[in-house]
Chain A
Amino acid sequence: MSSTFLGMPARPPRSPYGEGHLRGDQAFPQAAARELGNRQLRDNLHKATRTIRAKRLAVTAELPDWEELRSAGAALKNEAMSRLPELLEQLEAKVTEAGGTVHWARDAAEANALVAELVAATGSREVIKVKSMATQEIGLNEYLESQGVTAHETDLAELIVQLADDRPSHILVPAIHRNREEIRRIFLERIPGVDPDLTSVPAELAAAARAYLREKFMTVPVAVSGANFGIAETGTLSVVESEGNGRMCLTLPKTLITVMGIEKVLPRYADLEVFLQLLPRSSTGERMNPYTTLWTGVTPGDGPQEFHLVLLDNGRTAALADAVGREALNCIRCSACLNVCPVYERVGGHAYGSTYPGPIGAVLTPQLAGTHAAKDDPNASLPYASTLCGACYDACPVKIDIPSLLVELRHQTTERTGRGAEQLAMKAVAAVMGRPKLYRAAQKAAAIGRIAAGRDGTISRLPPPLSGWSESRDTPAPPRRTFRDWYASEEGRRALAAAAEHQDLDETPEGER
């Protein structure tokens, strides 16, 4: 085959290396160990995730058709993904028709540059922002800052994180790792003119943020948002939120710039019916979120008079091209999987190194950003950041089978990394397990492990790579005799025969043949 083969699709682009926030600087096990050292963080997370978990269970249980809604959500998302090019073009046509302007960005660098240009054209040096995962993912705030533009986050939790020069650690509750007292200190240090007697009473903290933000809403002429949904049929964009700050940003400024991941498109307006039930119940544990804003292009004399929609790829078509992994694109960013994940609950969002933490992040991040760019790419450790307990799958409102996707990504990782020590060991184990005679010989050899055990019959120290295990767990000494040896022995035969004879002493089960 010649090197130029017409008709062969090019490899879809991944999110570029080093751009945005889709990669941490440490592999998960190291980053997690660092976070585990923070007792305050663990307590905060424990309390917060437990509360949201209970709320979500209560409001999903009260819907008799919750399982059907989940299936409907999954089906609609699958439809959208399988018709993505067509739906995006329809969305573009409808937005344009309604007076908006559509831009396409292949990656974070293109999206950032586009937004910066659009802001520059307005002459403003400030923007107000609606909480948005897409702009977080591409590192828009930092890029704008480099261009002399200040981005003000207006979501309370995002504001806390921004004021603290911190990074969000949760999709829904970015400041979940902070408690009231910490927030009080951050506000005292960072909000100009704040009351020095500010207490840590939530209402007082909220009032302080409100006063600060109100001034921004009234004076900044440009807003930047993400989008929860984009409706191809009508060109309608939607943001759902709890605080009303989004409504302010989406209606007060002269110019609105929305950065939307291309996977957020839905075919029809009527599809919102399903997602506006699934999202708030899964996310905040509310029956309905307090503010749902829908807008279609621009309306003369009402709301922003200039509307730009930036459609962001940044690795999404690469994920879409993966027949198995593409399911992760169905994510509606509700964060239910984070709140039920026992791993997330212990280590928090920063351990994942990405804008997308938790179980969904562990599958989405490696797909968007790839794991190939550097040899020790921290993202390659993310698919292993799970015990595969499956709580995330049960909680997901669009039934993304996260455990199976993690297993698939692990497989892709091992296929790519070649001949590591682990791979050789796995091959060796498989070779033994695949040959019954060798297996029996290995069982005999394992019994030698008895020597390693002390008089108490347990092994308390193991060599690397098992030393991490033995730091907090004893291992029983291999028993003198395997099951199969007992089964084949005279003693085993007699015991089983005796058990069979005594069956009449016990209740004979029904349905016995």
Chain B
Amino acid sequence: MRIGLFATCLGDTLFPDAVRATALLLSRLGHELVFPPDQTCCGQMHLNTGYQREPVPLIRNFAEQFGDTSIDAVVMPSGSCAGCVRHQHMTVADRYGDAALRAGVAAVKDKTYELSEFLVDVAGTVDVGAYFPHRVTYHPTCHSLRMLRVGDKPLRLLREVEGIDLVELPEADACCGFGGTFAVKNAATSSAMLADKLDHVTSTGAAVCTAGDSSCLMHIGGGLSRISSGTRTLHLAEILAATHTAPHALTEAAR
């Protein structure tokens, strides 16, 4: 398939490894990648903080960059950005947009997928030929879980990874407390939620906590780093992209 790769602003700027892994994985699976160079951001931070006028140009740009009908699917390594595109762009287009924006948003949102959804539902595969011989626990991020309803798709992909020791995360579906600007506006409450998540992650003894959203992983990873935990975070794409010939180089400490 011809796939429009959306790096997301956070992925492009702060977590390029996750996007790189997504690109390599999709290429390995035989897909043709398109990276519209003028892509920027889906506007999620604005929308969820209460700004709907401001992200109109962002939403317009997103629809333009990926509107090309030769692109079969738009794929991104982020459940929350996919949720924003699929469920929130139209709200703004209805309120502040014109007919062209509404049409553009409608056309793009129906072919937008978070990575695990694309692999399982669209590409129809659960075994991506990955090799990752480490103990891993999976945190289902809230927007993947409840906005996109990805269900156990990420877990089905992980279970097929060769060598993996997949351990269940206690109270996995509890929010990690990130919530975008919530972590700044309600820092104390966010920290209390994070503390419980960190307890659960470290209780698994996993070398890696993975998820489908770099933002939640930034939160959990930032906490794990602060408590000098032996567990580190890796995006789901980084595990799925690892193979025998190109294994993921975990640091010695995390092995």
Please, what's the 1-or-0 string for B163-188, where 1 marks a CB less than 8 Å from any CB in chain A? Answer: 00000000001110111111111111
> Chain B interface mostly helix, strand, loop or mixed?
helix
A239 within 8 A of B: no
Q: Are A478 and B175 in touch, CB under 8 angstroms?
A: no
Tell me, in angstroms, the Cα distance from A411 to B47 when the chains sit together.
Answer: 8
Q: Are B27 and A472 in touch, CB under 8 angstroms?
A: no
Of B28, B143, B192, the residue contacting A502 (CB under 8 A) is: B28
B67 within 8 A of A: no
**Number of A positions contacting B (CB below 8 A):** 81
B243 within 8 A of A: yes
B254 within 8 A of A: no
Q: Are A430 and B51 in touch, CB under 8 angstroms?
A: yes
Closest residue of chain A to B19 (Cβ to Cβ) is A483
Of B17, B23, B38, B46, the residue contacting A487 (CB under 8 A) is: B23
Closest residue of chain B to A428 (Cβ to Cβ) is B54
B107 within 8 A of A: no
> Shortest beta-carbon distance, A78 to chain B, in Å?
19
A:406-435 near B, CB below 8 Å: 407, 409-415, 422-423, 426-427, 429-430, 433-435
Closest residue of chain B to A473 (Cβ to Cβ) is B222
A40 within 8 A of B: no
Tell me, in angstroms, the Cα distance from A488 to B123 when the chains sit together.
Answer: 26
Residues of B near A18 (CB, < 8 A) are none
Closest residue of chain A to B125 (Cβ to Cβ) is A509
B128 within 8 A of A: yes
Q: Are B51 and A414 in touch, CB under 8 angstroms?
A: yes
> Shortest beta-carbon distance, B41 to chain A, in Å?
4
> Shortest beta-carbon distance, A487 to chain B, in Å?
6
B71 within 8 A of A: no
B221 within 8 A of A: yes
Q: Are A505 and B175 in touch, CB under 8 angstroms?
A: no
Closest residue of chain B to A42 (Cβ to Cβ) is B192
A:378-400 near B, CB below 8 Å: 383-391, 393-394
Q: Are A390 and B13 in touch, CB under 8 angstroms?
A: no
B:1-60 near A, CB below 8 Å: 1, 7, 9, 11-17, 19-20, 23-25, 27-30, 33, 35, 37-41, 43, 45-55, 57-58
Of A346, A387, A414, A507, the residue contacting B179 (CB under 8 A) is: A387
> Chain A interface mostly helix, strand, loop or mixed?
helix
Residues of B near A414 (CB, < 8 A) are 49-51
A202 within 8 A of B: no
Residues of A near B54 (CB, < 8 A) are 426-427, 429-430
Q: Are A410 and B50 in touch, CB under 8 angstroms?
A: yes
**Number of B positions contacting A (CB below 8 A):** 88
Q: Are A496 and B179 in touch, CB under 8 angstroms?
A: no
Q: Assess A36 versus B12: contact at CB under 8 Å? Given A390-B143, A476-B218.
A: no
Of A29, A389, A415, A435, the residue contacting B175 (CB under 8 A) is: A389
Q: Assess A465 versus B184: contact at CB under 8 Å? Given A407-B48, A433-B9, A471-B191.
A: yes
B75 within 8 A of A: no
Tell me, in angstroms, the Cα distance from A230 to B184 when the chains sit together.
Answer: 43
B97 within 8 A of A: no
Q: Are A436 and B40 in touch, CB under 8 angstroms?
A: yes
A211 within 8 A of B: no
B142 within 8 A of A: yes
Closest residue of chain B to A387 (Cβ to Cβ) is B179
A:472-513 near B, CB below 8 Å: 472-476, 478-479, 481-484, 486-488, 492, 495-497, 499-500, 502-503, 505-513
Tell me, in angstroms, the Cα distance from A469 to B189 when the chains sit together.
Answer: 11
Tell me, in angstroms, the Cα distance from A387 to B145 when the chains sit together.
Answer: 14
B147 within 8 A of A: yes
A201 within 8 A of B: no
> Shortest beta-carbon distance, A451 to chain B, in Å?
15
Q: Are B192 and A475 in touch, CB under 8 angstroms?
A: no
A439 within 8 A of B: yes
Q: Assess A499 versus B28: contact at CB under 8 Å? Given A468-B188, A507-B129.
A: yes
Residues of B near A429 (CB, < 8 A) are 45-46, 54
Q: Are A388 and B179 in touch, CB under 8 angstroms?
A: yes
Of B39, B41, B49, B57, the residue contacting A426 (CB under 8 A) is: B49
Please, what's the 1-or-0 string for B113-150, where 1 marks a CB less than 8 Å from any CB in chain A? Answer: 00000010011110111000000000000110111000
Please, what's the 1-or-0 string for A335-375, where 1 marks a CB less than 8 Å from any CB in chain B? Answer: 00000001100110000000000000000000000000000
Q: Are B127 and A507 in touch, CB under 8 angstroms?
A: yes
Q: Are B188 and A436 in touch, CB under 8 angstroms?
A: no
Of B1, B16, B195, the residue contacting A482 (CB under 8 A) is: B16
B:46-85 near A, CB below 8 Å: 46-55, 57-58, 61
> Shortest beta-carbon distance, B21 to chain A, in Å?
10
Of B15, B193, B226, B245, the residue contacting A346 (CB under 8 A) is: B193
Q: Are B40 and A383 in touch, CB under 8 angstroms?
A: no
Tell me, in angstroms, the Cα distance from A487 to B16 when the chains sit together.
Answer: 10
> Shortest beta-carbon distance, A349 to chain B, in Å?
14
Q: Are B51 and A423 in touch, CB under 8 angstroms?
A: yes
Q: Are B39 and A436 in touch, CB under 8 angstroms?
A: yes
Closest residue of chain A to B141 (Cβ to Cβ) is A389
> Shortest beta-carbon distance, A302 to chain B, in Å?
49
Q: Are B14 and A476 in touch, CB under 8 angstroms?
A: yes
Q: Are B52 and A500 in touch, CB under 8 angstroms?
A: no
B219 within 8 A of A: yes
Q: Assess A433 versus B41: contact at CB under 8 Å? Given A426-B51, A473-B226.
A: yes
26 A-B contacts, Cβ less than 8 Å apart? A32-B189, A36-B189, A342-B175, A385-B189, A390-B145, A391-B173, A407-B50, A414-B51, A422-B49, A426-B46, A436-B38, A439-B41, A469-B184, A473-B183, A474-B225, A476-B14, A476-B222, A479-B15, A483-B11, A496-B24, A496-B27, A499-B25, A499-B28, A499-B246, A509-B124, A511-B125
Chain B positions within 8 Å of A, measured between CB atoms, are: 1, 7, 9, 11-17, 19-20, 23-25, 27-30, 33, 35, 37-41, 43, 45-55, 57-58, 61, 88, 91, 119, 122-125, 127-129, 142-143, 145-147, 173-175, 177-195, 218-219, 221-223, 225-226, 243, 245-246
With A347-B189, A482-B13, A509-B29 given, name 7 new contacts (CB 8 A).
Answer: A387-B142, A389-B146, A411-B52, A472-B191, A479-B14, A484-B35, A500-B30
